[in-house]
Amino acid sequence: MQYRKIGNSQKIGQSGLDVSVITFGAWAAGGWMWGGTERSDAVKAIKESYEAGVTSIDTAPIYGQGLSEEIVGEAIKGIPRDKVQILTKFGMRWDLAKGDFAMHSKKNDGQAIDIYKYAGKESIVKECEDSLRRLGTDYIDLYQIHWPDKTTPIAETMEAVAQLIQQGKVRYAGVCNYNADQMREAAESIHLASNQVPYSMVKRGIEAETVPYCIEHGKAILAYSPLERGLLTGKMKPGHPFSADDHRAKLHFFKDENLKRVNAFLEKIKPLADDKGATLGQLVLRWTVEQPGITIALAGARDARQALQNAAAMDITLTPEEIIFINGHLNPLELVS
């Protein structure tokens, strides 16, 4: 495994946080929007992933409405706290109708819930305490606003996180799904370590503004959904059956025509993966973290086998010529909306 530093600052006492280049993404572990979860499998996946060098885990309260954080807390028991990096989030409430309405949804048990994007100061303080309790820890390494909340001034949100840092409950501040302008505004109130944004071979919109901003200002980019929710593994074929509560069924990426086009592209780069003794998913993960500005890739897993496969992506290398070869087949790829 390789590690990269985020959160570098000129401030005394801020030397940065080392995170594993493949970070365990614990959304699916919480089951919510993924057709449920098997808790023991998720715990084992995190534990074995850690043994393979994946020391960083990204979660959020909304993932299973607290379940994902509880699973992470269970999985890291017994691991020295300074050997694991916990990345979690705030700003999505399913238990409070306040802020910017996000969506109607359902819990894993089928109970209907309404979710709001809300990042007011008092809410952040409460969320932090709840997360610390579920995670079984007294501090969070990277605390990230999950989505922009247009009802709360960014300065108010960041001042609340700064207070938590001062209290020792949070080490570093990050954002998720922020554009460059929002990052600039947030940076007026706090030292930002990172921005967690969607990025994959078929979703590269951040390359226009967000990546250049982060490179210029030394901010880490945590790429989520680098395998585009399984699309880029080559395992999904036209007609793939999704369960009723699997959110992917409604995404255009998984239309039969797009599955055909993506799989045709993957077949073209498969010989390279075969030459390296790697899966397509591993090749895609390695490509992702070699892109300009991309610091780490978040990779989810439902079981230990998937987790270990993800970790092993860092065992392969890509030469500049091989990246050019991949891009040569990738750049003409167009998906239908």
Distance CA 317, CA 305 (A): 21
- Residue 314's identity, in one-letter code, is M
Catalytic residue flag (residue 63): yes
Distance CA 271, CA 277 (A): 10
Kindly state the greatest CA–CA separation across the chain: 56
- Residue 195's identity, in one-letter code, is N
Q: Cβ-count burial of 333 within 10 angstroms (0-12 exposed, 13-18 middle, 19+ buried)?
A: middle
Distance CA 14, CA 250 (A): 43
Half-sphere exposure of 90 (CA within 13 A, CB side): 27
DSSP calls for 308-329: HHHHGGGGS---HHHHHHHHHH
Catalytic residue (choose from 63, 172, 213, 224): 63
Measured in whole angstroms, how far is the alpha carbon of residue 244 from the centre of its chain? 24
Q: Dihedral, CA atoms, 205, 208, 211, 212, nearest 10 degrees?
A: 180
DSSP calls for 249-283: GGSGGGSHHHHHHHHHHHHHHHHHHHHTT--HHHH
CB 127 within 8 A of CB 90: yes
Structure tokens at 161: 């996180």
Q: Which residues are identified as catalytic?
A: 63
